[in-house]
Structure 1
């Protein structure tokens, strides 16, 4: 069987290790061997990047394809599903251009995310591996799910909602444990689902080997999320020491989505954001850094997630900026930030056996960086797409500069 051999000066594996002078053998889109001394089968194409750093494709499990980063998210209500799907197909092309080879859509309207997924899979657009959660599951009159929610009340009804989203093709389950900044009729810190409801949803997801993610703010909502056994705490601000200890006990992973607040707060005085969003963000943003730093210091495992599509959180660059903010504001190492956007992000999508690290048996989703560029020395280099010279997805070159 003919294949492809990539030679790397340095390979960032994605699991916290690196390999110098590495070779990566790819056959039928899958990595078959990684090492320093690999025998090359006949008819193997060899690409020599001995002066480059190679790393896994980046994974962002939290984008909203129904949104494009415009200041007022309510404008989407005026757009048809058809228009949202067409625009969404263009937005996912931007993600791939920045080396993001897998994304999770963290709630969208009706069947729009599934239409975008189909467009990618049929080759109509050049997009990343795309894994929608379907609709966000909320309480009645809850925070909503960005133009469409699956409302449920009580554990049995929550199980029904989870089963419906699984039946629609959800690849993970998104829960609204509290109100939201982007919701005009809820307050961020007000808890919504009770522990037994969140637990019922998570157990239902686990039956089919899917992960649960819960949007949560405030001590009560965050605590409920952790105690219910939810896999990924999303947002999670402000994060108290007591809840950090609970996260350690329950092995909850943390997706702080720092970039969406950081970028939005730069525009609070522009007059374009809804007043209710400015008010809530001003309450939350000053408290983010302390909580993230404490979580990092405590060894809580981070997961990259951006909320791309939310106001001023633009597709592509925001994912790498989230990794930078984990380092600059959160005190994480560059390697920790890279793992958050590769290995840990893959786990959050139940894809850890298929993607997230450059290892035998996994999909050949690999980035070739520009000569002299190493994110372990400067994590910000990933924010410039010109530093990502080649993107392999499933062993095929899909971006080349």
Structure 2
């Protein structure tokens, strides 16, 4: 059964904007976009006058096992595996309803994100397409250790990397530096070494997988980039040398601007662990400046929220887009960072991530044009996944 949606504005995800255009889908695929779609007939036609269509969003950094409560590590410590699985499903649904049809989950205890991914793919539950890391790989006592696999030295890292890949991970997550949420570690301090990370990258490449590195401090970011990491997560303390290194290596930055924003905004709540408030407050302005400089220099960006961290709720993807806009990105660049460019990081850009003939029919309908009103990103009217409506506002 084919469906044509006509009289719409379309952002393809690759920088193009089509006005008074159309899209035709059949089963789970896009069969025509633009002029070809305008001229083509379909079994069903819908008038989308005043609406805007975008590819389904990718949130490239989330934690489905965390709800965004003030102390997520306390939640992880008390959850059973079954409770965590239910939490993944509830949070996945919130992501889908915000227009996020694909997520990259970068850290779940017990590798539950991988089981949730398989349940979605099998049709057991409704949720976004999941690309998961399982448990992150950290040094002993490193950032995020309550939900991670701890390993030290190249041999141990190689063993754990292989074990994580055996579990079915799509991406290996490694901690290059300390972080905000873990007590007793400094966000600016290096953790896993360049050689340790290089070992994990090698194993991921052998398996045809990608890598991501939590990296906040300058030295740790440089270590990760030289190690061949696919994406730098956060990138809080960037200097000119580090930015040049990222451009040279083609390293993608996933900024997660919403994570420190919500901690600083809610610092006076009294509920967030004091160590996290202190560190986030210290990092906040540097993070914004680093992002601005990276964008200006031409570092590749993919959108990710770090949803699940304090007060950083699943389903609030639009806040990250707003912060990216404040940091100097245009609307079309933001759309690309949240769609095609994100898909490219995962090496799935030939199947999804843009509105092009032959691709999977993951797309969203907005009530407004985001170039006319940036608030349009919060006006999600309908979400289609694989050609099926999965949410109507």
Cross-structure match for 2:386: 394
Residues 39-188 of structure 1: pairs in structure 2 closer than 5 A: 40=40, 44-76=43-75, 77-145=77-145, 147-188=146-187
Residues 116-265 of structure 1: pairs in structure 2 closer than 5 A: 116-145=116-145, 147-265=146-264
Contact preservation (8 Å) 1:367, 1:390: yes
Q: SS state of the match for residue 360, structure 2?
A: coil
- Structure 2 CA distance for aligned equivalents of residues 211 and 378 of structure 1: 35
Residues 5-20 of structure 1: pairs in structure 2 closer than 5 A: 5-20=4-19
Q: SS state of the match for residue 280, structure 1?
A: helix
Q: SS state of the match for residue 212, structure 2?
A: strand
Q: Aligned Cα RMSD in Å?
A: 1.7
Contact preservation (8 Å) 1:232, 1:255: yes
CA shift in 2, pair 1:8/1:191, >3 Å: farther
Which of the residues 318, 321, 328 maps onto 1:320?
318
Q: TM-score, normalised by structure 2?
A: 0.95
More divergent stretch after superposition (194-203 vs 303-312): 194-203
Contact preservation (8 Å) 1:323, 1:379: no
Matched, 1:342 2:339: yes
How far the C-alpha of 1:118 sits from its partner, in A, is 3.8
- Give the count of matched residue pairs: 391
Contact preservation (8 Å) 2:56, 2:102: yes
More divergent stretch after superposition (6-15 vs 250-259): 6-15
Mark the runs of 5 or more structure 1 residues left unpaired by the alignment.
none
Contact preservation (8 Å) 1:21, 1:36: no
Which whole-Å deviations, capped at 9, do the CAs of 1:125-166 have from their partners, x for residues lacking one? 331112211110111222235x33222223333222222212
- Structure 2 CA distance for aligned equivalents of residues 320 and 45 of structure 1: 31
Residues 301-316 of structure 1: pairs in structure 2 closer than 5 A: 301-316=300-315
Q: TM-score, normalised by structure 1?
A: 0.93
- Structure 1 CA distance for aligned equivalents of residues 98 and 375 of structure 2: 13
Contact preservation (8 Å) 1:61, 1:349: no
How far the C-alpha of 1:107 sits from its partner, in A, is 0.4
- Structure 2 CA distance for aligned equivalents of residues 270 and 399 of structure 1: 33
Which of the residues 345, 352, 364 maps onto 1:367?
364
Mark the runs of 5 or more structure 2 residues left unpaired by the alignment.
none
